[in-house]
Chain A
Amino acid sequence: MTMLDAPTLAENLATDAKILARGVTVHYGAKQALNGIDLDIAGNRVTALIGPSGCGKSTFLRCLNRMNDTVAGARVGGMVTLDGEPLYGPGALDPVLLRMRVGMVFQKPNPFPKSIYDNVAFGPRIHGLFARKADLDEAVERALERAGLWHEVKDRLHDRATGLSGGQQQRLCIARAIAVDPEVILMDEPCSALDPIATARVEELIDELRDNFAIVIVTHSMQQAARVSQQTAFFHLGNLVEVGPTERIFTAPEHQLTQGYITGRFG
């Protein structure tokens, strides 16, 4: 199961990869969570990672901006590159700079207990991106605009972010992530705490953001993966079972495991 068959692999590797992963392994202590993943993340596309709980999809996602570094006992092996620059090993990108280029949005909206403005301005400030207040104001407005939140919050930028609705908070977190102008956005089940309308807004946002970013989304909702992504990767027990164009994965998956999972026969 660790080996992909030739056509799937070719389909997988024939992209203009933004992020390239080869033989990625992750151990949590003695337990191996990922068994050598080869996967390319294309630019200006949404890649969905699906699979049952514990399959390694979130673990893989967290390899893409070195989030696993923060987990005690976690070891990452193999190779991951962003535009050809290694994320791990000798000559690796600085993790702080890496995370500026690869933003992340989590399952539960997690705004800082600060104002809406300060949440979005947080990244640009710590990276010292703008010297002038006017430039920072403009960056905050642009990020909120791109996150589709500007019109809802422009008159209360200095209210506490925690007063926003769950859906607004999640879009604020997306605004915060894109305020530093990353190249890749990682999303770990970004809609699982949202109602269907808020979910639709985030999905519409993902669609728009795809013009400027590479997006990788982990989702438990097969329908969401089908709706928002162009490429889908199915993980199972730490292996990448199948990856391909989303439409093909959901109409004619090649592997029986994929078929069984997406049609609700196991998982």
Chain B
Amino acid sequence: MPTVGDDHIVKSYDAQLKTLRDILARMGGLAEAQLDMALAALEARDSETAMKVKAGDAAVDACEQQVNEQTLRLLALRAPLADDLRQVVAALKVAGNLERVADHAASAARRTVILNDNPAMAPTRSLVRMGRKVQVMLHEVLGAYLAYDADTALAVHGRDQEIDEMHASLFREILTYMMEDARTITAASQLMFVAKTFERIGDHATNIAEMTYFLVTARPLDRHRPRRDVFDGGV
């Protein structure tokens, strides 16, 4: 029975949809690589790599532009319906989220350059650990998106809370350093900003999970994310 992913009668329609998916796959790969490099630069205190991340952002932006154009073309020329329509709308939104992911990676890299001018801080290790967790989330959700895998998307969606909690605990840890020694404030505040960028990337991965779920099942994922305020009482 013909369904999601099967061929259309008009082959050029399939070709246009495939082009869209190909751009998304490339864009996802680039965004992941940007985050990976940003984490490597942070961990190794490597300003040169950090600068590469800054320079690499333009390629992701260019992909987003291509997705926008291809989406517009498909909407105007094919008037997609049902799963095709969801495919096109999801592509547009996923591209928007990936563009933000790459922005955050570039922002983390910029702050890494500043961090490298200051003495190393112990919480960096926890920060990298959090970043790696977010990276895994991003990798899995992109795989789920490209494979129409709603179950994996749902699983990734459920892990955002974990990231939020890591972020909150990291925030408290860094704050302790600042309070103990005012000389660490410059570096510590940069660490806090980097932690925030990773937390935001987790949110974007969660958004992509929601779009994937919608794309596959045609039903919106319950927007009720477990939003217990992780900062309650602690700070």
Interface residue ranges, A against B (CB under 8 Å): 222-223, 226, 250-253, 256-260, 262-267
Contacts and interface: CB of A to CB of B under 8 A. Distances in A.
Interface stretch (B80-88, B128-136, B152-160): B80-88
9 nearest CB pairs, A to B: A252-B218, A260-B2, A265-B2, A256-B1, A256-B3, A264-B8, A262-B81, A250-B81, A263-B84
B7 A265 contact: yes
Contacts of A251: 81-82, 85-86, 218
Interface of A is mostly: helix
Given A260-B3, A265-B9, A267-B9, A253 B79 contact: no
B79 A263 contact: no
Nearest to B218: A252
A259 B9 contact: no
A260 B6 contact: yes
Nearest to A255: B1
Given A252-B82, A259-B2, A260-B1, 4 more contacts: A251-B82, A252-B86, A263-B8, A264-B8
B148 interface: no
Nearest to A249: B82
B55 to A, nearest CB: 41
Interface in B190-235: 218-219
A252 B80 CA distance: 12
Contact of B81 (A256, A257, A263, A266): A263
8 contacts: A250-B85, A251-B82, A252-B218, A253-B82, A258-B82, A259-B83, A260-B2, A263-B83
Contact of A226 (B2, B81, B83): B81
Contacts of B81: 222, 226, 250-251, 262-263
A250 B219 CA distance: 13
B86 A259 contact: no
Contacts of A253: 82
Contact of A265 (B6, B80, B85, B219): B6
Contacts of B76: none
Given A252-B219, A267-B9, A262 B1 contact: no
B10 A264 contact: yes
B177 interface: no
A262 B10 CA distance: 13
B8 A265 contact: yes
Interface string B68-101: 0000000000011111111000000000000000
Nearest to B217: A252
Nearest to A257: B1
A226 B81 CA distance: 10
B91 to A, nearest CB: 16
A267 B9 CA distance: 9
Contacts of A257: 1
Given A250-B85, A259-B83, A264 B9 contact: yes
A229 B41 CA distance: 57
Nearest to B7: A265
Contacts of B10: 264
A251 B85 CA distance: 7
Contact of A266 (B9, B79, B83, B86): B9
A265 B9 CA distance: 5
A253 B85 CA distance: 12
A259 B2 CA distance: 8
A259 B8 contact: no
A264 B111 CA distance: 50
Given A251-B218, A252-B218, A252-B219, A263 B82 contact: yes
Given A264-B8, A264-B9, A265-B8, A223 B2 contact: no
B66 to A, nearest CB: 23
A263 B85 CA distance: 9
Nearest to A260: B2
Contacts of A267: 9
A222 B8 CA distance: 15
A257 B202 CA distance: 37
Contacts of B2: 256, 259-260, 265-266
B122 to A, nearest CB: 51
A199 B139 CA distance: 48
